[in-house]
Chains A and B, each alone.
Chain A
Amino acid sequence: EPEVTQTPSHQVTQMGQEVILRCVPISNHLYFYWYRQILGQKVEFLVSFYNNEISEKSEIFDDQFSVERPDGSNFTLKIRSTKLEDSAMYFCASGQEMARRNTGELFFGEGSRLTVL
C-alpha cells in the first residue's frame, strides 16, 4: 500500500539553527500539506501546496517557514531559525486531485518529531 514517508523521524536541534524536514508524498497525489502537533495539543494546519506553489497557509506559517518541492518527489519544510516553541511533531500529508468524488481524505506520514533545545 502506498504511503507517505518522512525523514528524519526525530531531530534534536539548538535554538536558532535551521532545520529541514523531508517528505515523500504518495506518487500520484497532487496536494501536499504540512501539519504540526505540539505534545498534548491538536493537529494544526501549517501550509498546503499545489501546482508548485503554496495554495494556503496559516498564521503559524510565518517568514521563518518555507516549503519546497525541489525534484518532483520530495516535499520539504524548512524552519530557518528554530525557536523553543517550534518543538512539535510535524506531519506531512498528501491527497489526490480534487474531483467530483473527492473524499477529502488526506494520507499522513508517521511524522518528524522536532525537539528544540
Chain B
Amino acid sequence: RKEVEQDPGPFNVPEGATVAFNCTYSNSASQSFFWYRQDCRKEPKLLMSVYSSGNEDGRFTAQLNRASQYISLLIRDSKLSDSATYLCVARSGANNLFFGTGTRLTVIP
C-alpha cells in the first residue's frame, strides 16, 4: 500500500503557464503535509507546508482536503527555474515523512 500517491508526470509546460499537481494519501492519521522540491540528483528541500485552510507563498498555492485525503499544489506564472520534481509528503509518527514518487515538471522557454 502506498502512503502517498502522485501522478509522476512528466509535465512539460511553457514559461508563464499555470500548472497544478495533485496527490492523495492513504493514512487518515497523517498529521501534516508538505510539498518538497527535488532537483535532479539533489536532496529534497521544503517548498511549503500545506494547511487545511489553503495557503499561498508567492506563485505557489497549496490546498488540503482532509475529507478526501487530497493535496494539491498550484504554480502560477511558471519560471524555467521551477523545473524540478515536486514531492508530496505526509507526516506521521515521530515526525517521520512519507514521500510520494514525485511529479516531474519541465518548464520550456
Bound-state Cα–Cα, A91 to B41, Å = 11
Residues from chain B with Cβ under 8 Å of A102 in the complex: 95
Q: What total of chain A residues lie within 8 Å of the partner, measured CB to CB?
A: 25
Residues from chain A with Cβ under 8 Å of B43 in the complex: 91, 108-111
Bound-state Cα–Cα, A110 to B45, Å = 10
Chain A proximity mask over B85-109: 1 for CB below 8 Å, otherwise 0: 0010001011111111110000000
* Pair B96/A56 contact, Cβ less than 8 Å: yes
Interface residues of A in 32-69 (CB under 8 A from B): 33, 35, 41-45, 48, 50, 55-56
Q: What total of chain B residues lie within 8 Å of the partner, measured CB to CB?
A: 23
Q: A42-B101, A110-B43 are in contact. Are A103 and B49 (CB under 8 A)?
A: yes
If over half of A's interface residues share one DSSP class (helix, strand or loop), that class is named, otherwise mixed; here it is strand
Residues from chain B with Cβ under 8 Å of A110 in the complex: 42-43
Residues from chain B with Cβ under 8 Å of A31 in the complex: 94-95
* Pair B94/A45 contact, Cβ less than 8 Å: no
* Pair A104/B102 contact, Cβ less than 8 Å: no
Residues from chain B with Cβ under 8 Å of A98 in the complex: 95
